[in-house]
Structure 1
Amino acid sequence: MRRNLSFEFASRSDVGLKRSQNQDACGKFPPDNSDLYSDRGQLFIVADGLGGHRGGQEASRMAVDIVQQTFFSAENLSIIQRLKDALETANNQIYERASKTPDLNGMGTTCTALALSHRKAFIAHVGDSRVYRIHRQKIEQLTQDHSQIAELQREGVLTPEQARFHPQRSILNRALGVQPTVEVDLIENLTLHPDDYFILCTDGLAKVEMEEIKNLILTNPLIQACDKLIQLANDRGGEDNVTVQIIRITGSTTPWDKMLTWIKSIILKIKNS
């Protein structure tokens, strides 16, 4: 087994400039363990509550707690199935609590979870919180926002710039706890490489462009990158709470990896000759 990968982690959450309470919640689990090669894996979660002050806070905290508890208590299931079950369980319990508590009626939350195990990454996602990945100096958004504005952008009706500043960009068409059931987006078996970065964030970071995110992360220590991203979000209005988690995969490349890279380069040269 090639135990040559590890990771660094940093996280920050801020209330922003316009809100009185922070309805975001986040966590890294297990909090005191950083072993990528444990069978249970490493779990990172961000959630952005909606439905009023008390309801939003309650929903996002419930999501983080229930997802991590369900994920780590599951037996004899694949990681992606554990993630799916965890978000569905959170949806059921948040919906049930809201239906029985008048003050919490209508509450819900986004929830985006990233699991790392051995040399693979797995994602489960509902809402408009995001996962980005930086790989070989290029950044991409791995998750899709579950909002009408995002759908209009994907259909070409709105440009990315129009969508980023649209006044209705935060209106979701999918969230945990709003309906009795929920469809969970899943991404599995992404291969981890040294110097890959994974960024989880709530939509308070929506006005910061991907290239800006990439440049700040690649030129700063992780915790400073978190702070600067939050400062940039606040400089652009600070209209919402903002939470950022950054995971950097570290480790050296094994001789076998180097051999595979060399073979691939030879094959590519032959194809192009």
Structure 2
Amino acid sequence: MNKGLIISYGHATHQGLKRADNQDAFGKFPPDSLALSLPKGLLFIVADGMGGHANGKEASAMAVHTVQQVYFADPRENIPDRLARAFEVANERIYQRATSKLEFRGMGTTCTALVLKDDRAYIAHVGDSRAYRLTKSKIEQLTQDHSKVAEMQRLGILTESEAKSHPEKSHLYRALGIAPTVKVDLVADLPLRPDERFLLCTDGLAKIAAHEIKQIVLANSPPAACDKLIQLANARGGSDNSTVQVIWVKNPAAPGKGGLSVVRRLFGR
């Protein structure tokens, strides 16, 4: 384990040009540390609320607050287990709120979280916000969108261009708070590599192609990259709230013995 890992971090959020308010929420925890050697690492979260202006904003804020609260309070050492439990508790709390009064019906939120601990990365995900890993040679989407349109694209029913213009592209079949229980997608034990970046974003960046994201992130510092991505999203219509976090891992630990990277994807628990 290399305790000399350094990260550079940036974030940006904007309500867009067509929305009256910003229903996205995000956070980095602990907020004042950049050390990956902390006992429970660093936690980054983005969430995109839905269910009406006030309800969506409340749902995304609840998700960010609950996930970080439960994750850091959990005494277990297993990071995927802690992340999964944090998402489950967030789902329970938002669902209870959504079903408590008629005015809260439809409340829910996406949530994507990244933990960087020592020389490993971990991701938990529900909805259609995204996590990417970027290197000089490629950009890799580490999450799957939980929308019916994305599923039809994965099955070959729709082309990429058809999916992007489909009127129901934002209809989710999985999100926090829309059902009593939730399945959480997990990516575990992803070795960190020298000079790679991670990006978390809400779907306000949907009109920016992956290769454009890669070009902007690699050419700029994390704060500047975030600002430029938000500016581009707004230049292309700004039809939704946009939130982005960029994390640049500098001089991380080398991959495990033999240089092989092992990604274990768990869908549900």
What TM-score, normalized by structure 1, do the two folds share? Answer: 0.91
Equivalent position of 1:145 in the other structure: 145
Indicate how the Cα distance of structure 1 residues 220 and 136 shifts in structure 2: closer, same or farther if over 3 A, else same: closer
2:192–2:253 CA contact under 8 A, matched in 1:
no
Letter in 1 for 2:222: L
Equivalent position of 2:228 in the other structure: 228
CA deviation vs aligned residue, 1:70-95 (integer Å, no higher than 9, x gap): 00000024011000000000000000
- Give the deviation of 1:252 after TM superposition: 6.4
Aligned to 2:139, the other structure's residue is in SS state strand
Aligned to 1:80, the other structure's residue is in SS state helix
* Aligned ranges 1:100-249 → 2 under 5 Å: 100-249=100-249
CA deviation vs aligned residue, 1:199-237 (integer Å, no higher than 9, x gap): 000001011100000001111121111111111111111
Equivalent position of 1:21 in the other structure: 21
Aligned to 1:2, the other structure's residue is in SS state coil
- Give the deviation of 1:34 after TM superposition: 1.4
2:148–2:173 CA contact under 8 A, matched in 1:
yes
Letter in 2 for 1:116: L
- Give the deviation of 1:136 after TM superposition: 4.1
Letter in 2 for 1:179: A
1:198–1:246 CA contact under 8 A, matched in 2:
yes
* Aligned ranges 1:40-119 → 2 under 5 Å: 40-119=40-119
Which residues of structure 2 form unaligned runs of 5+?
261-269
> Relative to total residues, which structure has the larger helix share, 1 or 2?
1
CA–CA distance in 2 between the matches of 1:249 and 1:213?
17
Larger Rg: 1
What TM-score, normalized by structure 2, do the two folds share? Answer: 0.92
2:68–2:86 CA contact under 8 A, matched in 1:
yes
Letter in 1 for 2:240: D
Letter in 2 for 1:180: P
Q: Report how many aligned residue pairs link the two structures.
A: 259
- Give the deviation of 1:253 after TM superposition: 6.7
Which residues of structure 1 form unaligned runs of 5+?
265-273
CA–CA distance in 2 between the matches of 1:228 and 1:10?
11
- Give the deviation of 1:4 after TM superposition: 3.1
Letter in 2 for 1:249: V
1:5–1:194 CA contact under 8 A, matched in 2:
no
Letter in 2 for 1:90: A
CA–CA distance in 1 between the matches of 2:24 and 2:119?
29
1:165–1:207 CA contact under 8 A, matched in 2:
no
Q: Which moved more, 1:243-252 or 1:206-215?
A: 243-252
CA–CA distance in 1 between the matches of 2:253 and 2:86?
33
1:54–1:104 CA contact under 8 A, matched in 2:
no
Letter in 2 for 1:142: L
Identity of aligned residues (%): 54
Aligned to 2:190, the other structure's residue is in SS state strand
CA deviation vs aligned residue, 1:231-258 (integer Å, no higher than 9, x gap): 111111111000000000002677xx7x
CA–CA distance in 2 between the matches of 1:216 and 1:246?
11
1:203–1:242 CA contact under 8 A, matched in 2:
yes
